[in-house]
Every structure is written in C-alpha cells, then in structure tokens.
Amino acid sequence: MNTAPELLSEHLCFGGTQRFYQHSARSTGLTMKYSVFLPPQRVIDDAGGKVPALIYLAGLTCNEETFMTKAGAQRLAATLGLALIAPDTSPRGANIPGETDSWDMGLAASFYLDAVQAPWAKNYRMETWLTAELLPLLADTLPVHTGRIGIFGHSMGGHGALTLALRHPSLFKSVSALAPICAPSQCPWGRKAFSGYLGADEAAWAAHDATALMAGMGAAPYPGGILIDQGLADKFLAEQLNPHLFEAACARAGQALQLRWHAGYDHGYYFISSFMADHLNHHARQLSE
C-alpha cells in the first residue's frame, strides 16, 4: 500500500487544477516530487470519473516544475480531458559525493533507469520508482484511467519515454518524444551516464538504449505509431541525439514512426511548446481507443 502523498500547492489553471506533490518513496529511499494537471471536474465527471493520463519526462537539469511552467500544455489538455504528470528528473537528497559535479550525470540527470553501480545503486532507482511505485500511487490517489496511460519526454526524458515504453509496453498505450537521445550507447551523454550507473559492460547498456531495444523487437509494440519531433538547428543533434539510428531500427522492426524535422528550431522549450499540441493530440487519439 502506498503512503499518502503530500499536496504542496494547488492552482486553478484553465478550469482544471495544477498540483505539486511529494511522497516518501520506498524505491529510492528519499522524498520524491511530481506535478499533476487535472482537467476540469466536469470533464472528469463526463469521462465516468477517470481520465487518460500522460506522463512527461523532462531533460537534463530540469525538475517536476519545468514542463508545467514552460511547455504550455494545460490549455489543450483541459479541452482534451487529459491528466498530465511530470515526475522529477532524479532523486534529491542522496548527498552522493560528486553528485553535483557535472550537469549531465547525477542530480537531475538520472536517465530514468535503475543504477546498479555504487554509489548510485541505493537511491538512483528511477525506473522502479516510475513504473512500480508512482503509477500505482497515481491510480490510488487521482482520477486517472490506469489502462489509458501514455508517456513522452524531451532529450534525456525522450530517451526515458522511448525506453520505458519499449521495456514496459503493458503499462503505456502511447509514446512520443521531442529531440530524444535515441542511441545513448553511441553518444557522449549516454556513455558517461551508462558507465557510471550501469558499469563498464556495454552489453548491459542495450537494455536501456531505445535503438537497441527496437532492433530486438520481433513485432511492432506500438501499432498506433510513435511520434518524434526534431529541430534542425538543435546544437546537440549531430553528436548526442541520433534519431536516424532509431528510425532505421523502427523500419527493420516494422514499427510505424513519424519522425518530423523542423528547420530553424533548437533544443529548448520554445521548440517544445511549438509542437506540444501535436503531441497531446497524438496521445489523445491513441488513449481514446
């Protein structure tokens, strides 16, 4: 049984409610934070008391507030009847030596996996927290439909969304990403994080690499299709993101993928907010089926 979360604040937003929570997490051994947007109560009532939910995983240096304050998603989510949930990007308060030495490893840079290497393994168990603890907690405490949950994210969070969707297809009915790290085993960000969290055996990294996971699929796990948006002016595109590798893996697996390229757009939230409506509609269609 999950312990009750603590409501930190609540705000009226487009007729719905924007909330910020924290709870004591067994998986990480620390207090974890997450934010929730619920559509207007009349929408929830019209949906029989439960609405689809969309999990958003944010990128490096972000937290549970970033998406809700920068992405501009609540207006359309209120109309579509979607709940939005944004977890924090890492445990906080572990006080691991070196945890804050760099912005791409450690605090706010969990890569949404369960670390197996010391000193990270005790607290950096984000996959377990998200899939085995947070999702049941949401079902216990909020009017969300557990059979209609989608996942998406940006950059490191796009990596997290793709890999968690591929690793747990029974939990997520839809998936998309914005400028995701598509092949972390083959880029500096991913290699640094995987070495630290998972160890030197690169064969073990494939289980947390979206391109490698898709390459091992015997059938398309998301017949409704996956949506990825990528800006062509993104300074991280060539060295870190590699969407073309994921595209090729999807083609081999027969997985429908809409990879959209956008001239002039960079890596930040101006890009994200520009295409947010497309992602919400992508998920709303699949979560309504």
Residues carrying an active site annotation: 155, 234, 267
Residue 262 corresponds to which tokens in the numbers above? Answer: 């956008």
**What length does the chain have?**
289
Amino acid at 67: F
Report in angstroms the alpha-carbon separations of 231 from 154, 262, 272.
Answer: 12, 5, 10
- Ramachandran assignment for 243, one of left (phi > 0), alpha (psi -120 to 50 degrees), beta (any other): alpha
DSSP summary character for residue 117: S
Among 261, 241, 257, residue whose Cα is nearest residue 249: 257
| SS3 label, residue 251 | helix
DSSP H or E stretch at residue 270: helix 269-274
Nearest CA among 194, 125, 155 for reference residue 59: 155
